[in-house]
A and B are shown apart, each in its own frame.
Chain A
């Protein structure tokens, strides 16, 4: 997964780019980049499970179908530990705490990305950027440990096809 990991590394570099006083542009791009690192990680993992390997770029084309708002709705549901009743039969036991945490971090990162890109009223602090980069790093770390869980499969398919759980689209 070169692009997602490269984006994560880039977010970290952006934050330490200016040694004394980070520019708002660097802080804001760092937050935005951290979100897109997580977005592309989940989109690529999902596409990998859905798309055949040939033709070569089919998976990349599938990734273009992901919608931020729908992904957020799915993540909110998983973060809360429950799936819509429509697909409740796919849930066996509780949603794992790490998957809940990953989903919760994604929602928060997406909102932080929105603030970083559009809310110029509030100065974005280095603490806030650091916190969001840390969340993205946690998403990567958690994913390594839960990627093979049955609920993770449901999660990935729901991100790609929110219709399966009748999650609303934004």
Chain B
């Protein structure tokens, strides 16, 4: 039964949050937001928006760190067998407030 907008469930959202919250967010990621809905072909999907610093050209170290985080998170999310297929996307912080309002988690950061 869906109890979140976009057809998501609290249970699914909590599972996703657990996977993300147990990791340190990369330095460039401030927080995240979940958005349930459909993908481009209408299949159930959940987009995990990573809210990132407004840096148009982050250094390679930051890019590598973020890519590693995404890869590990995606891998674990796939193991959950969620009904909504998980996609991870990025949103610059300056736009995030406009689209998402308050985001889901207080940031955990490492240097």
Contact = CB atoms under 8 A, between A and B. Distances in A.
A2 B70 CA distance: 29
B11 interface: no
B96 to A, nearest CB: 10
A134 B90 contact: no
B91 interface: yes
Contacts, number: 70
| Majority secondary structure, A binding face | helix
A100 B43 CA distance: 19
Interface stretch (B1-9, B12-20, B81-89, B103-111): B81-89
Interface in A106-133: 107-108, 110-112, 114-115, 118, 121-128, 130-131
Contacts of A118: 40
A131 B58 CA distance: 13
| Majority secondary structure, B binding face | mixed
Contact of A127 (B45, B58, B87): B58
Nearest to A135: B71
Interface stretch (A6-14, A46-54, A72-80, A147-155): A72-80
A79 B28 contact: no
Nearest to B92: A123
B74 A111 contact: no
A33 interface: no
B39 interface: yes
Nearest to B41: A170
Nearest to B77: A104
A122 B89 contact: yes
Contacts of B87: 108, 111-112
14 contacts: A19-B57, A21-B57, A76-B85, A101-B75, A110-B40, A111-B45, A112-B87, A114-B40, A125-B92, A127-B90, A130-B67, A131-B67, A131-B88, A131-B90
